Amino acid sequence: MKLYIDSRNNKKIIVKIIEKGKDLYVINKDIVSKRQANELLVSIDTLLKDNDISWSQIKEIFVNNDGGSFTGLRLGVIVANTLAYAKNIKLSATTKKSIEVNGIKIVKPDYDRDPDIGISKKSI
């Protein structure tokens, strides 16, 4: 089984359990803008518990790591990296943007634009 994580949209979280290319269980949750940090891990936990899936059944974590909201994208990638490391599960992503550190694969966000953090170039 594969755990799929997509938090690129700052108003939606998608987590799925995929097996043999088919979506078995899906949480496609609309959320209040910028609440992914409060909802993503809870959604993953709910998906696993509601469907009696243990972490030992998850053989891969797949994260959508390109485009979308800067913070949402970064959150999904961080959660995927952390869970894959903590549970010793294979990690993959939409793009091949990753690095290896001490034998550990780390997926990097692949931003489609520079982050807008509220500072204009004129004020610098």
pLDDT tens per residue across span 74-90: 899 999 999 999 999 99
pTM of the predicted model, to two decimals? 0.84
Low-confidence ranges of the chain (pLDDT < 70): 115-124
Q: What is the pLDDT, as a whole number, of residue 110?
A: 81
**Neighbour count for residue 42 (Cβ, 10 Å):** 12
Q: What is the pLDDT, as a whole number, of residue 97?
A: 79
Tell me the CB-side half-sphere exposure of residue 26, using CA atoms within 13 A: 9
Domain span at 13: 2-123
Tell me the CATH number at 11: 3.30.420.40
Q: Is 71 left (phi over 0), alpha (psi -120 to 50) or beta?
A: alpha
Quote the crossing angle between the two packed helices 70-87 and 36-50, to the nearest 10°: 40
* Structural domains counted in the chain: 1
Is residue 13 within 8 A of residue 31, CB to CB? The reply is: yes
